[in-house]
Amino acid sequence: MGKTAEIIAIGDEILAAHTLNTNSHWISNELRTIGIKTIAHHTIADEEKSIIRVLDQIQNDTNYIFITGGLGPTRDDITKKVVTKYFGGKLVFHQNILNESKNYFKKAEKEFPCTIDDQAYYPNNADILPNRKGSAKGMHFVKKKQNYYLMPGVPFEMKFIMENSILPKLQKEMKIDYKEFTISTTGISEAELIRKIEFIFEKYPSVKLAYYPSIEGVKIRIGQKIIDGNNDLLQSKNKLLNILGNYVYSLKDEDITKIIAKILKKNNLTISIAESCTGGLISHRITQNSGSSKYFKEGVIVYSNAAKRKYLKVKLSTLKKYGAVSEETVLEMAKGMREISDTDIALAITGIAGPDGGTKTKPVGLVWIGISTKDKTYANKIIFNRERKLNKKYFAQSALNILRLELLKIKNNY
Amino acid sequence: MGKTAEIIAIGDEILAAHTLNTNSHWISNELRTIGIKTIAHHTIADEEKSIIRVLDQIQNDTNYIFITGGLGPTRDDITKKVVTKYFGGKLVFHQNILNESKNYFKKAEKEFPCTIDDQAYYPNNADILPNRKGSAKGMHFVKKKQNYYLMPGVPFEMKFIMENSILPKLQKEMKIDYKEFTISTTGISEAELIRKIEFIFEKYPSVKLAYYPSIEGVKIRIGQKIIDGNNDLLQSKNKLLNILGNYVYSLKDEDITKIIAKILKKNNLTISIAESCTGGLISHRITQNSGSSKYFKEGVIVYSNAAKRKYLKVKLSTLKKYGAVSEETVLEMAKGMREISDTDIALAITGIAGPDGGTKTKPVGLVWIGISTKDKTYANKIIFNRERKLNKKYFAQSALNILRLELLKIKNNY
């Protein structure tokens, strides 16, 4: 039996939808990579009875319980007090921690909150886990062989404690007996994927298969318990990759811009990007990767027709005859972008993100994507319409996929 | 006593951290605005025993229970079967629903999945709620005066059912007896806010106060049960607004770009944006708002020095003498952007997002933000360093706040 975890987020701000809970997601992801399976997420209020109730409900055989939130200096932060009492301990004062906290606030040039004294009290029945990113430390309780980890709810403080005190220890404790692969696809729907690959797995019943669709594509995860001499996982993976071909952009769970970055760096190529309907999203995603200045040189966001003409030399006659959202315009945009930037490759996009601006012949959701290299300039048309923000996301992902295929010198099916 | 809700998300993909659970957040937000308080979020696996367990754990006095996920056509989608049985019903076949589903797939030009027949079976102990965005319908069970709503996990399908079948009904059922305000601030930390405003509320113990910090700023929520003749909520709100002044950008929970959009439209002003370290994020955020083409004309992403010179006419001597991240460069960027775009106002930003590129005198996290109008051009310096993606977010928000203050003709404190 593998090790399991439950994750508890404590905070009225999550239940009131003022804060999106990303901590539980992050922790589950880290645990999965070292072979610990999350069996439940709980989010509850900053109230003593809610905290006790959820602790009572934790399964008896769950190995690791992670609790985030409610450790700060404000008066609704009661997690430490309640959990300590629940496990039969009490809070004791630590002068050295108070001094440390005072130093922390001094260094950060912040005023020292008057409630900070609470921050120097820690349970006598738990280990204290250092936090160099804030004044609330982590705690580790052990009860009936179950491990309870308490951490602040601020994501970068929680991550600091996980990465420095908890994950290295868990990694040692775990012997991984389960192997899995995540395969990232884009440009194909979940329904089409099911039709194309599901039959493979009828022959390999021990291989678990799951689909994780998002607006950017579908991730496929296949996994299997490790049994000596059984190659079902590798065999089914190879068959799957054979069938899916270029729909697969990575054999990991990663963003398509990371793949584009690798190819550009490897081949010493530079790019530039001209965006209309995506409004900067494509360049933003490219520049999320550190070191992107090596290959990404410049971009323009040509929202108005005047801007398309000024920066990219799109002809007035083209805009008048075919309109801003047309094959002719995007081809001139791509070519103009490459020429003005003197990059090896240019990407251009123009479309209608909505909700306004559509017509009968050019509906909301219509997009033209253009690529220009030294050898050729071409364009692809896409139609996709949900709501504005989703449309922008889908358009950007499609453009990045067309760019990826161009860099790999593979003909695209758009 | 007010009405309460618990939200259950069913899906291995969430626990395995392949999908971030945003449904529970969205539902809680909608419920809050009509006065229903979420008391817990649960996320569990697609397993019969987990589903039964969480249903057993729902509080006896919770009024509304929302269950999302596990209603699709794949074999791990078992929610409908398990919940129907749990409430003592059984699934019955509906020919009209099968026909409808077949039509849906035909219209969407998708292949008809062979497992779709399951999608025509619905419980005999629940109302069926229409879903025009997909093939899985919603369901409404009532057990001991508790309302259970089942919906698919695909966000836009869930939202369709909530908005069309559930929320209008709940709105009628609710008599709101609690009033609250959300106040959006930026440019001030939670600790500073506590120091500045917490004392106000000592006089108004019936007013509940909460802080919701994020990288973009802190939202403050104050609320109170409605009691005739009691003006504590309004009085404390006015005192708070007086003290916080321009740190408050909205009296609602909304993005700062919405405020900027309103001011620009009202005054018939146009803007342009020159970005270096934010890589397109500011323009992307501005263009998330529909109708942004009315005021946002163009932007450039001048990642390289060559691009800064070419598009914005930044002088080579300035770049050589002061460097790309400097007051002198950002002033030339802002002025150049406004001149080339012929907009009323231009925003420019240059900085070091990291993790590489910092020096002793110019560390990672250093940013210059410039504003240029017909009357003046000026710049502000900011230092903020966490990790690259957070840095980009913070830089963008600071620049947008400086832009907001300029539009309101308020001197900023940066």
Token couple for B140: 């409404």
| H or E element, residue B26 | helix B23-33
> Angle, nearest 10°, between helix axes A256-266 and A388-407?
30
Q: Tell me how many degrees the CA angle A199-A200-A202 measures, rounded to the nearest 5.
A: 70
Question: Please, are residues A329 and A308 in contact by the beta-carbon 8 Å criterion?
Answer: yes
- Mean pLDDT, residues B354-368: 94
Alpha helices in B34-94 (DSSP H): 48-57, 79-86
Residues 6 or more apart in contact with residue B398 via CB below 8 angstroms: B187, B367, B369, B382, B384, B414
CA-based nearest distance A221→chain B, Å = 9
For A:28-67, CB contacts with B below 8 A are 28-29, 32, 37-45, 50, 54, 57
The per-residue b/e assignment along B20-34, b for 16 or more CB within 10 angstroms, e otherwise, is: bbbbbbbbbebbbee
| A413, two tokens | 């099916």
- Per-residue pLDDT band at B208 (split at 50, 70, 90): confident
Q: What is the pLDDT of residues B319-352, one digit of tens each?
A: 999 999 999 999 999 999 999 999 999 999 999 9
Chain A: give the shortest CA distance to residue B241, in Å.
20
Identify which of A22, A40, A191 has the shortest CB distance to residue B110. Answer: A191
Report which residue type is found at B106. Answer: K
Contacting residues of A for B74, CB less than 8 Å apart: 194, 211
pLDDT reported for residue B396: 98
- Which run of H or E residues covers position A159? helix A155-161
Burial of B352 per CB tally in 10 Å (0-12, 13-18, 19+) = buried
* pLDDT at A73 > cutoff 90: no
- How is domain B4-173 classified at the CATH fold level? Molybdenum Cofactor Biosythetic Enzyme; Chain A (3.40.980)
| A114 Cβ contact list (under 8 Å, min separation 6) | none
Q: What is the pTM (predicted TM-score) of this model?
A: 0.79
Q: Which residues pair with B311 in a beta bridge?
A: none
Point out which residues pair with B379 in neighbouring strands: B370
* Interface contact flag, B14 A25, Cβ < 8 Å: yes
Helices and strands (H, E) in chain B, number of each type: 15, 17
Q: Which segments of chain A belong to CATH 3.30.70.2860? A: 178-250
- B311 touches A: beta carbon within 8 Å: yes
A281, A249, A272: which is closest to A262 by C-alpha? A249
Distance from CA of B368 to the nearest CA of A (A): 18
Tell me: the pLDDT tens digits for B251-274?
999 999 999 999 999 999 999 999
Q: What is the pLDDT of residues A208-247, one digit of tens each?
A: 888 888 899 999 999 887 777 788 999 999 999 999 999 9
* A207 has a pLDDT exceeding 70: yes
Q: Does CATH number 1.10.3720.10 belong to domain A178-250?
A: no
Phi, psi of A351 (to 5 degrees): -170, -170
pLDDT digits (tens, 9 = 90+) for A261-274: 999 999 999 999 99
Residues of B in contact with A37 (CB under 8 A): 15
Positive or negative, the CA dihedral B103, B105, B109, B113 is negative
> Judged by CB atoms within 8 Å, which residues 245-274 of A form the interface with B?
253, 273
Residue in B closest to A384 by C-alpha: B108
Q: Is A4 on the interface with B (CB under 8 A)?
A: no
* Chain pair A-B, CB pairs under 8 angstroms: 263
A21 contacts in chain B (CB < 8 Å): 21, 24-25, 41
In this predicted structure, the answer to whether residue B57 has a pLDDT above a threshold of 90 is: yes
Record: contact A41-B42, CB cut-off 8 A? yes
Query: Which contiguous run of DSSP H or E holds residue A307?
Result: helix A305-312
> pLDDT value at position A398?
98
Query: Identity (one letter) of the amino acid at A296?
Result: F
Q: Which residues of chain B lie closer than 8 angstroms to A390, CB-CB?
A: 156
Measured CA to CA in angstroms, residue A59 lies from A64, A74, B50 at distances of 10, 31, 11
- Distance set, CA B175 to CA B33, B35, B178, B230 (Å): 12, 8, 9, 19
Q: How confident is the model at residue A41 (pLDDT cuts 50, 70, 90)?
A: very high
Fill in the DSSP letter of residue A187: S
B284 touching chain A per CB within 8 A: yes
Res A52 pLDDT > 80: yes
Per-residue model confidence (pLDDT) at position A211: 86
Residue B302 has pLDDT above 70, yes or no: yes
Residue A115 has pLDDT above 80, yes or no: no
Closest chain A residue to the Cα of B45, Cα to Cα? A39
Of B50, B214, B387, the CB nearest to A19: B214
User: Among A28-32, A81-85, B106-110, where is mean pLDDT lowest?
Assistant: B106-110
CA distance B84 to B174: 27
Q: Which residues neighbour B246 within 8 Å (Cβ) at sequence distance 6 or greater?
A: B405, B408, B410
Looking at chain A, the domain(s) classified CATH 3.90.950.20 span: 256-407
The CA distance from A178 to the nearest CA of chain B, in Å, is 14
Residue B247 Cα, gap to closest chain A Cα (Å): 18
Lowest-confidence range among A49-63, A106-120, B329-343? A106-120
Could you tell me where in chain B the CATH 3.40.980.10 domains are found?
Answer: 4-173
- A366-384 pLDDT, tens digit per residue, is 999 999 999 999 999 999 9
**A256-407: CATH class:** alpha beta
| Complex prediction ipTM | 0.79
Q: What is the pLDDT of residues B99-147, one digit of tens each?
A: 877 776 666 555 555 555 677 899 999 999 999 888 889 999 999 999 9
CB B300, CB A301: distance < 8 Å: yes
